Structure 1
Amino acid sequence: MSKEADLRESLCRLGASLFARGYSVGSAGNISVRLDDGYLMTPTNSSLGSLDPASLSKLAPDWSHVSGDKPTKEVFLHRAVLTARAEAGAVVHLHSTHATAISCLASPGDTAPIPPLTPYFVMRVGRSLPVVRYWRPGDARMEPEIHAAALTARAMLLANHGPVVSGKSLIDAVYAAEELEESARLALMLRGMGARGLTEAEVEDLLGTFG
């Protein structure tokens, strides 16, 4: 199996897993993967639960549509992150419930709407989680702000919309998106309870050890 064929199968399998566990509903959410000769992306109005490897959208290095179904209307979102982060191999955008709830509570411009409560949040998501101000879904005018946020952060929250997470590989991006959702759920559970977060020294130790 070629590398691209393997990525097509993996994208559909992981998308179905996210959908089955409620990380996306209906046709919400989209995923992209960097290829040697362009990008793979989930099609517009498609469900992560029923993706077809042969129908995935393929885009050229200049982001023009090459083959497969028409890509998601949020191509610009993936372009913003993947051009900002040369090391990123994939981007996952979900409407997962708890992360989206945090995106409704946090103020645009906030860079730490979820405290570092667990080591795996720091290891997979990082120190910074910027909140990008609200734009209508599909509004390409948000691209510069997403790009700016991605220059310093692996993940972000779109205000009143949901999380956008990148990773070195597709599986890394999916794991990070899952960790972000669980960390958001934990943060909401512990609101007002005086939970002990990780100290700055503990965060630095994690970042220095795991990157």
Structure 2
Amino acid sequence: MSHITDSQTADENRLREEICRVGASLFNRGYTVGSSGNISARLPDGWLITPTDACLGWLDPARLAKVAGDGRQISGDRASKTLALHRGIYAGNAAACAVVHTHSTHLVALSLAGVWKPEDVVPPITPYYVMKVGHVPLIPYDRPGAPAVAEQVAALAGQVRGVLLERLGPVVWHESVSSAAFALEELEETAKLWLMLRDKTSPLNAAAIDDLRQAFQARW
């Protein structure tokens, strides 16, 4: 076996471990429950994705689905039914190396109670939300795994870092599994704050947001 092949295998194994570690962390802290939610990561020749109906808290690195670039499953348990959604994000954003989807309570509640705006589900009320997440649009409800949803999200993948699926929860993409999870957590926390305080607070003003753009290259 060549050195390159050994290196690629080691990288894939580390990625499998990261998916399972992040999945367990999200599950143990209540960001997802039961067998909801899914995580994927880009490989040089395809993707890893959590199996369909798998519990993120009990993932086995060896049983993650490995999928080729053409969508053909190579190994592992059957891939999540949201595979098309994940593939669309990767096709629409070359910098995206990981996607995390959960059914986080406050974001699902927000989609039921009413978001701030269809193009921005929560207002920019904290600097870290502006810096770490940015604009998050609402995707109107369709059944889990619906091709139309995958198409809508793919069209937005190069413009934003995440979306909120109505009644289903957030989908966030980033440069690593951990960074995608961190952004999702910031989004969920902001939704929690907004639900608690929406009548008692207001967004950061334009000058404050421009300052964040200048100082931290915030995408807002």
- Normalising by the residue count of structure 2, what TM-score does the alignment of the two structures yield? 0.90
Match of 2:197 in 1: 190
2:210 and 2:48 map into 1 onto residues whose CA distance is 35
Question: Percent sequence identity over matched residues?
Answer: 48
* CA RMSD across the alignment: 1.6
Alpha-carbon distance change, 140 to 198 in structure 1, aligned in 2, over 3 angstroms: same
Specify every segment of 5 or more residues in structure 1 that has no aligned partner in the other structure, as ranges. Answer: none
Letter in 2 for 1:157: L
Count of matched residue pairs: 209
Output the CA distance in 1 between the equivalents of 2:152 and 2:15.
Answer: 29
Q: Residue in 1 aligned with 2:154? A: 147
Q: What is the CA–CA distance in structure 2 between the aligned matches of 1:201 and 1:79, rounded to whole Å?
A: 37
Measure the CA separation in 1 of the matches of 2:136 and 2:202.
19
What is the alpha-carbon distance in structure 1 between the residues aligned to residue 61 and residue 214 of structure 2? 38
Supply the AA of the counterpart residue of 2:35. S
158-167 vs 21-30, greater mean Cα deviation: 158-167
Per-residue deviation at 1:209? 3.2
The corresponding residue for 1:206 is 212
- Residues 116, 123 of structure 2: 8 Å contact kept: no
Q: Displacement of 1:206 after TM fit?
A: 2.0
Letter aligned with residue 177 of structure 1: L
TM-score (norm 1): 0.94
Q: Which of 45, 66, 81 is 2:53 aligned to?
A: 45
2:23 aligns with 15
Shift of 1:151: 2.9
Based on CA coordinates, which of the two structures has the bigger radius of gyration? 2
Matches of 2:170 and 2:99, distance apart in 1: 10
The alignment status of 1:68 with 2:81, answered yes or no, reads no
Partner of residue 166, structure 1: 173
- Partner residue in 1 for 2:89: 81
